[in-house]
């Protein structure tokens, strides 16, 4: 590579189940780029209103200033060398195209999001973005039953919606062996007071 060549734009995708540290890893990468003097923009879908409206929040409370966008095309309004997007699975269509256009104009992209739904299907365009990626980081979280590394998230309530904004108490991670049984802890009958 000639010394004058600019760095090639990269797509990095951080995926895995809920509570796996995806936002933390996104913040770590964006903070590192900021410290290296790169122009970084952090974005998140406007429907993700957990914790704080203008920051990317991790479950352990770390924050990075962020702008919210309603449509994936708004990614293209972001000025910078590196654009980070949290909760990328919220956009059901148009994200892959927007990311390719960003890469095409020389902007690197880091996405964080769920790669599969609670029904164990690819989440929106995440499967295509995993194929597009230069680097994939697949994180795990402990299985709620046995504690071994898990890549599945099951929901503890009935809903026909793919996208439900929520956190602890609404979802549970499961390893492959415990994907179906036993029933989620939140659905088990409460212990009668006489036995406590």
Positions touching Zn ion (CB under 5 A) are 143, 145-146, 175, 178
* Catalytic-residue membership of 87: yes
Nearer to Zn ion, 163 or 179 (CB): 179
Smallest separation (angstroms) from Zn ion to the CB of 172: 10
Residue among 128, 19, 25 at smallest CA distance from 86: 25
Contacts for 131 with CB less than 8 Å, ≥ 6 apart: none
Nearer to Zn ion, 26 or 154 (CB): 154
Smallest separation (angstroms) from Zn ion to the CB of 144: 8
CA distance readout (Å), 140 to 6, 16, 17, 175: 34, 6, 6, 9
Which helix (H) or strand (E) segment holds residue 15: the answer is strand 11-15
CA distance readout (Å), 27 to 55, 106, 120, 176, 183: 10, 21, 27, 29, 34
| Catalytic-labelled residue, pool 12, 25, 87, 125 | 87
Nearer to Zn ion, 67 or 140 (CB): 140
Smallest separation (angstroms) from Zn ion to the CB of 181: 10
Nearer to Zn ion, 62 or 138 (CB): 138
Smallest separation (angstroms) from Zn ion to the CB of 147: 7
Contacts for 109 with CB less than 8 Å, ≥ 6 apart: 9, 10, 11, 12, 75, 82, 83, 84, 85, 99, 102, 103
**Which are the catalytic amino acids?**
87
């Amino acid at each position: 590579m000639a010394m004058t060549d600019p760095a090639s734009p990269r797509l990095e995708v951080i995926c895995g189940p809920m509570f796996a540290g995806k936002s933390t890893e996104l913040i770590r990468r964006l903070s590192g780029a900021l410290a290296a003097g790169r122009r970084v923009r952090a974005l998140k879908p406007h429907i993700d209103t957990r914790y704080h409206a203008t920051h990317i929040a991790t479950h352990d409370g770390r924050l990075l200033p962020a702008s919210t966008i309603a449509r994936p095309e708004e990614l293209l309004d972001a000025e910078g060398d590196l654009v980070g997007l949290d909760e990328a699975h919220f956009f059901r269509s148009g994200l892959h195209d927007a990311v390719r256009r960003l890469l095409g104009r020389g902007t690197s992209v880091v996405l964080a999001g769920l790669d599969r739904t609670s029904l164990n299907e690819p989440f929106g365009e995440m499967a295509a973005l995993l194929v597009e990626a230069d680097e994939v980081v697949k994180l795990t979280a402990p299985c709620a039953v046995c504690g071994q590394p898990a890549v599945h998230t099951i929901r503890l309530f009935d809903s026909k919606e793919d996208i439900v904004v929520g956190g602890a108490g609404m979802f549970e991670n499961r390893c492959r062996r415990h994907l179906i049984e036993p029933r989620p802890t939140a659905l088990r009958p409460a212990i009668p007071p006489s036995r406590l």
